[in-house]
Amino acid sequence: MNLMSEFNLIDHPHRRYNPLNGEWILVSPHRAKRPWQGQVEKVVEDVRPKYDPKCYLCPGNERIGGHINPEYTEPFAFVNDFSSLLNDTPEGSWTDGELFKADSEQGICKVICFSPRHDLTIPQMEVDEIKPVIDLWQKEYNELGAIPFINYVQIFENKGSIMGCSNPHPHGQIWASKAIPVEPEKESIRQLAYFEKHGRTLLADYLDAELKKEVRLLASNDHFVALIPFWAVWPFEAMIVSRKQLQSIAQMNDAEKLALADIYKQLTVMYDNLFEVSFAYSAGIHQAPTDGKDHPEWHFHMHFYPPLLRSASVKKFMVGYEMLANPQRDITPELSAQRLRELPKVHYRLI
């Protein structure tokens, strides 16, 4: 056989398998070798005030609906004034033959302000200022998860207007629901099958392998590793995985929560430094459902899905083939990881 034509992941189009959700992604590394087209523009960023009298998340301000925020100094959670889920929806289901099916859904949606400061973001906050955010996530997961009808607590953050985030004040959301939503449900099924076969979590074995290979690692500390998954869809998609198997944030001790704050900052500083812009993303935690059962198959992790591709203004679109067939990327996850790893560790605004 001609060695030149032997299949490899650096030169040849290929499909990669995501063992967490059972889906495939198309990788076209030969296309990333084309010269980049278009300018790499810098975006002029507005300087935000520490307090904005018109912001409905700033301390002391009135929200739509008439609630007044307290003069909070620590991370602060409240029930979303425009909740997508309501806790008093009557139970029930509706069918009309085999093809029409609906179930009523109950839940609670909350907003978490990460800081009283309007002008900050996670990568600009100190680790000891992020730690209270993690403490509050844990408290909310425990409290919401203890409600009998809540079976899953989705903690997430939408950062940046291109991710549809309407307010730049640093904040995240929690949607707690009766149903286990689609993405965690897919991962639940795969992780359970793997755990039953091997007696270990899928992500424990995956993380061990990535720590040996080293090519997709971004950052680490005593308790967590940040990496670009082998099957990443978005150009700079990343995952934070706990070194120890933790089913959920409920099992984290103080040192682990501090370490999660640290890796959250390390990763988001890399992101901001990549194009020297406040880097947009959707991020969130995947962890054990709160359905009252033990979940030894679940391994705590966070996903980061950022849309930017090659500058502060050029984003990846999920269109055409990706909507109709499956996702596709050009730059390989290994090259993306290398680019992120080589960046300065200090936030660009502080240099």
Cite the active site residues: 171
Whether 291 contacts 192, CB under 8 Å: no
How far CA 111 is from CA of 12, 148, 250, 291, in Å, comes to 45, 21, 19, 22
For 39-54, give the DSSP string.
--PPPPPPPPPS--TT
- Give residues 192-251 in contact with Zn ion (rule: CB under 5 A): none
- Give residues 320-349 in contact with Zn ion (rule: CB under 5 A): none
Binding mask 25-54 for Zn ion (x = CB under 5 A): ---------------------------x--
Residues 6+ apart with CB under 8 A from 41: 311, 312, 313
Closer CB to Zn ion, residue 60 or residue 344? 60
Shortest Å distance, C-beta 21 to Zn ion: 8
Contacting Zn ion (CB under 5 A), which of 25, 55, 155, 204? Answer: 55
Closest residue to Zn ion using C-beta atoms: 55
Whether 322 contacts 328, CB under 8 Å: yes
Residues in the chain, how many? 351
- Give residues 112-131 in contact with Zn ion (rule: CB under 5 A): 118
Shortest Å distance, C-beta 278 to Zn ion: 15
Whether 86 contacts 107, CB under 8 Å: yes
Task: Supply angle C-alpha 170, 140, 250, rounded to 5.
Answer: 115
Closer CB to Zn ion, residue 121 or residue 311? 121
Shortest Å distance, C-beta 59 to Zn ion: 8
d(CA 332, CA 290): 36
Query: Which amino acid, one-letter code, is at 170?
Result: P
Answer yes or no whether residue 169 interacts with Zn ion by CB under 5 A: yes
- Give residues 282-301 in contact with Zn ion (rule: CB under 5 A): 286
Pairing outcome for strands 328-329 and 23-27:
parallel
Closer CB to Zn ion, residue 169 or residue 178? 169
Residue ranges in the chain assigned as alpha helix (H): 127-146, 182-198, 202-213, 254-275, 321-324, 333-341
Shortest Å distance, C-beta 3 to Zn ion: 38
Shortest Å distance, C-beta 260 to Zn ion: 15
d(CA 218, CA 125): 20
Answer yes or no whether residue 58 interacts with Zn ion by CB under 5 A: yes
Contacting Zn ion (CB under 5 A), which of 16, 25, 29, 57? Answer: 57
Closer CB to Zn ion, residue 52 or residue 276? 52
Closer CB to Zn ion, residue 252 or residue 310? 252
Closer CB to Zn ion, residue 257 or residue 286? 286
Answer yes or no whether residue 263 interacts with Zn ion by CB under 5 A: no
Shortest Å distance, C-beta 187 to Zn ion: 5
- Give residues 173-192 in contact with Zn ion (rule: CB under 5 A): 187
Nearest to 206 by CA among 230, 232, 236, 237: 230
* Total residues binding Zn ion (CB under 5 A): 8
Binding site for Zn ion (CB under 5 A): 52, 55, 57-58, 118, 169, 187, 286
